[in-house]
Amino acid sequence: MRSFRWALIMVALVVFGVGCFSDRGIAIEIDVGATGATSVELYVGNRRCTDPGEQGFRCDGGIAPPSIAAHLDGDVWYRDDVAPYFAVVSGGKATFRLQADMVTTLPIAIAVGSTGPGTPALGTATLRDVTVPVDDARIVRAELVASGEVRPSTDSATTDRAMVWNQRETPASSCVVVEHWTNGEVERDFIVPPDDPDCDSVKEECDPGAYLGSRLNDRCLIKPPNDATHGACRLGAFGCTDERGPRDMCMRLPRVCVPKAFCDCPLTPSAQPSDECLEMKASGALDEVSRIVCTVRLDPGNSLRACKDKSDPIDLGGLLGNDGCKQPEMSLLRADELAFPTRSRNFGGVDLELINKTDACGFVVQVNSGRREIMLDRPEEFGIIRLDTDDRVVLLPIVVRFVLDSGIPSQCAGTTMSCTPQLAADDPMWACAP
């Protein structure tokens, strides 16, 4: 995304009609071209959103407009005016006259052409670093570029997309997003009101960056029914929606399963198992649990630094089929960590990464770097690997065992790491059936 530096100055910006232009200020003349627009709205971004945003909004987290579930990354700009400026097209052009009580530079202004409020955008023009003079006058001209509908997919063509949506309780106020696509790369800008960046008029937001959005909070476990001897242990979450607010019920996530033994852990009133119980189950001390056990060697002559190496390819024996698997990811084996997996993860000071994934959900575990930071009276660290296919998600425990390398004088020589799959093929989590 482009970034622009500008001074933050609060100014009184005034817009005049076509016949009121004097010898000071700026005229922005928008040629609608062949877009068919009969009116133009001008959105002025007065300042860039910087974290921490208002109302718990994350400026770098993007915004999800109506009918789009995913947050779209982009530059977010706040406008000071309650509503955008509006002008009717005359002679193929719409003109806006702006005056200010002191010289200022507006970092961004977006013109959107349509056939009237509430109708789809037909064309857009983006102006940057627009200076509004005080003692003289100037004219800025731009032509609308035809725009398509904003959608979550990428576009390899060179094209523009735009969307305008109104606040529910203040229809005159609205949000706008404009995308400029070039060879699959996008430059995206939002101009929004600072007190409601998703324009849904919700006061107590579950997701302040999504129009009537929702959010999954703490993770929980859902036990199979007592009479379901083959039921899978399912991962759930406490939910919150903008329309209904928080919910105190553990809601089942679509086809996300964990080892059945995890559901033997006593659950708190919030349906969360203790981290200690999860680790005990993953250790295999009490139950036969599907897991990956890795041994990572440490160099005692080099501050317990991990020996860099990688495992042999791990084969899951077709338990998740062979039709495609997304990149496996890891998190720590903590109830509050299960929702945030990443490709690499730090285990007690040592960074591990999952590489070389296969369609059958195979992978290789690689030691990247790090030094063991935790006392050796805790020789194991526990994590979870997220294996995601088209129709199910399985969370497979990983146990990382640290041992001192005894190779003298050449520590870390030869094979220094191994990972062994220990799989319980009869665990219903592999089918992830209800």
- The answer to whether 394 and 432 are in contact (CB under 8 A) is yes
What is the chain's alpha carbon radius of gyration, rounded to the nearest angstrom?
Answer: 28
- 227-261 b/e (C-beta count within 10 Å ≥ 16 → b): eeeebbbbbbbbbbebeeeeeeebeebebbbbbbb
Q: What does the pLDDT look like over 183-217, one tens digit per residue? A: 888 999 999 999 999 999 998 888 899 999 877 66
Residues 114, 248 share a domain: no
**147 is a domain residue:** yes
Identify the domain containing residue 387 by its residue range.
213-434
120 and 260 assigned to the same domain: no
Evaluate whether residue 158 is within a structural domain: yes
HSE of 76, CA atoms in CB hemisphere, 13 A: 27
Q: Kindly report whether the global pTM for this prediction surpasses the value 0.85.
A: no
Asked if residue 338 has pLDDT above 80, the reply is no
- 221 and 154 co-located in one domain: no
Residue 201 lies in a domain: no
pLDDT of 91 higher than 90:
yes
Of 293, 300, 296, 294, the residue nearest 406 (C-alpha): 300
47, 122: one domain: yes
Contact 343, 353 (CB under 8 A): yes
**144, 187: one domain:** yes
Same domain flag for 38 and 178 = yes
Q: What's the rounded Cα separation, in Å, for the pair 396 and 384?
A: 5
Q: How many domains does the chain have?
A: 2
Residues 369 and 327 in one domain: yes
Q: In the listed set 192, 222, 248, which residue is the last one of a domain according to the structure?
A: 192
Regarding whether 116 and 36 lie in a shared domain, the answer is yes
Determine, yes or no, domain membership for 207.
Answer: no
Q: Is the pLDDT of residue 229 over 90?
A: no
Which pLDDT value is given to residue 49? Answer: 92
Look up tokens 């193929």; give the residue: 92
pLDDT number for residue 19? 46
Cα(339)–Cα(335) distance, integer angstroms: 9
**Per-residue model confidence as pLDDT tens digits over 397-433:** 999 998 886 655 556 777 678 899 999 888 889 988 5
- Write down the pLDDT at residue 93: 97
**pLDDT in the model for residue 175:** 96
User: Last residue of a domain, which of 143, 162, 192?
Assistant: 192
| pLDDT tens string 110-128 | 999 999 988 999 999 999 9
Residues 105 and 139 in one domain: yes
Q: Mean pLDDT over all residues of the chain?
A: 84
